[in-house]
């Protein structure tokens, strides 16, 4: 695989396995706010339910266009909302004033359908998707899905103790994307590889253990992905009905910083935190 990348010296990207809350007004401006958001996964049905949170962070009224893409996926998965004008797989969201928030709540009914979502806003907005798995109306598990930037080179942590790693790849391109997947152990040694084809303008879901046999003694490693066209991705470790979301580290990420504040770290009483650091500099880092 070609691991070449471009990054500013001395920067490091770090991640803590935790759920990120929807944006809260009155705090420091959300660094994820943008006029464009791309979510590589949105799912509804068969116990799964998605909530899309959109908050206007501009000083004026705002409007966003939502597009859902996936077999059988349209805005009918959401419950009626006066601020939302649905039309098939698309919808217009009105954010009538500065600081206005809209929540699109999935119904979670019917057969499972999944795909990706794109949000285009006139002014900057913060957006999150919360995905849950429910049983009889009671949530069994939930995770926050962040907006993702499509790229051609990225990696996920591989933590087998969290469960089977499902990888979701979504493409907006007009041509299929071919992605090479490689699993590396804790020392960086290759443990095998496989290939994933992402159909044009569509979403592909593959389990890591379908592509590569996972060694029984592997505690932690990483999954490197290299694609010939830009795709957006998210990984979901699944352990029965329990899952979380792992955002990929873009190996061409220009937004990485040398300083990070993590709002929560917790250990004991059944809780366990795992801090993951990825050096994006072109030299050794500390």
Residue 37 vs residue 255, higher pLDDT: 37
pLDDT per residue as tens digits for the range 196-217: 999 999 999 999 999 999 998 8
What pLDDT is stored for residue 178 in this prediction?
97
Give the integer Cα–Cα distance in Å for 13 and 8. Answer: 11
For residues 16-36, give the mean pLDDT.
57
Q: Does the pLDDT value for residue 144 go beyond 70?
A: yes
For residues 95-112, give the mean pLDDT.
92
Residue 78 near residue 105 (C-beta atoms within 8 A): yes
Band of pLDDT at residue 161, cut at 50, 70 and 90? confident
What pLDDT is stored for residue 10 in this prediction?
39
Beta-bridge mates of residue 86:
91
What pLDDT is stored for residue 229 in this prediction?
95
Nearest 10 degrees: CA dihedral of 82, 88, 89, 90?
-50
pLDDT per residue as tens digits for the range 19-28: 444 444 444 4
For residues 244-267, give the mean pLDDT.
72
Q: Does the pLDDT value for residue 279 go beyond 90?
A: no
Q: Does the pLDDT value for residue 151 go beyond 80?
A: yes
pLDDT per residue as tens digits for the range 45-59: 999 999 999 999 999
Residue 263 near residue 36 (C-beta atoms within 8 A): no
The domains of the chain, with CATH numbers, are 12-16+150-258+269-279 (2.60.290.11), 34-145 (2.60.290)
Full-model pTM: 0.80
User: What is the percent of the chain with per-residue pLDDT over 70, rounded to a whole number?
Assistant: 81
> 213 CB contacts (<8 Å, ≥6 apart)?
192
For residues 157-162, give the mean pLDDT.
88
Give the integer Cα–Cα distance in Å for 30 and 234. Answer: 21
Q: Where are the alpha helices (DSSP H) in 195-283?
A: 208-211
């Amino acid at each position: 695989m070609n691991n070449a990348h471009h990054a500013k010296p001395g920067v490091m990207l770090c991640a803590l396995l935790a759920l990120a809350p929807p944006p809260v007004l009155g705090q420091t401006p959300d660094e994820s706010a943008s006029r464009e958001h791309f979510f590589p996964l949105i799912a509804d049905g068969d116990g799964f339910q998605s909530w899309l949170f959109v908050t206007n962070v501009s000083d004026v009224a705002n409007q966003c266009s939502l597009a859902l893409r996936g077999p059988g996926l349209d805005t009918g998965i959401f419950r009626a909302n006066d601020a939302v004008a649905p039309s098939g797989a698309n919808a217009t969201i009105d954010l009538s004033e500065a600081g206005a928030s809209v929540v699109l709540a999935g119904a979670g009914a019917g057969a499972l359908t999944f795909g990706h979502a794109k949000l285009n806003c006139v002014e900057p907005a913060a957006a999150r998707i919360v995905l849950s798995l429910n049983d009889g109306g009671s949530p069994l598990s939930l995770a926050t899905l962040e907006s993702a930037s499509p790229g051609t080179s990225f990696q996920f942590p591989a933590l087998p103790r969290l469960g089977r790693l499902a990888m979701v790849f979504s493409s907006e391109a007009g041509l299929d994307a071919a992605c090479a997947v490689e699993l590396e152990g804790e020392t960086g040694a290759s443990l095998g590889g496989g290939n994933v084809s992402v159909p044009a303008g569509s979403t592909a879901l593959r389990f890591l253990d379908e592509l590569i046999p996972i060694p029984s003694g592997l505690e932690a490693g990483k999954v490197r992905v290299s694609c010939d066209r830009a795709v957006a991705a998210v990984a979901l470790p699944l352990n029965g009905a329990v899952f979380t979301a792992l955002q990929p580290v873009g190996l061409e990420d220009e937004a990485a910083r040398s300083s990070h504040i993590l709002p929560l770290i917790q250990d004991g009483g059944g809780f366990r935190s795992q801090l993951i650091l990825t050096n994006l500099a072109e030299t050794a880092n500390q």
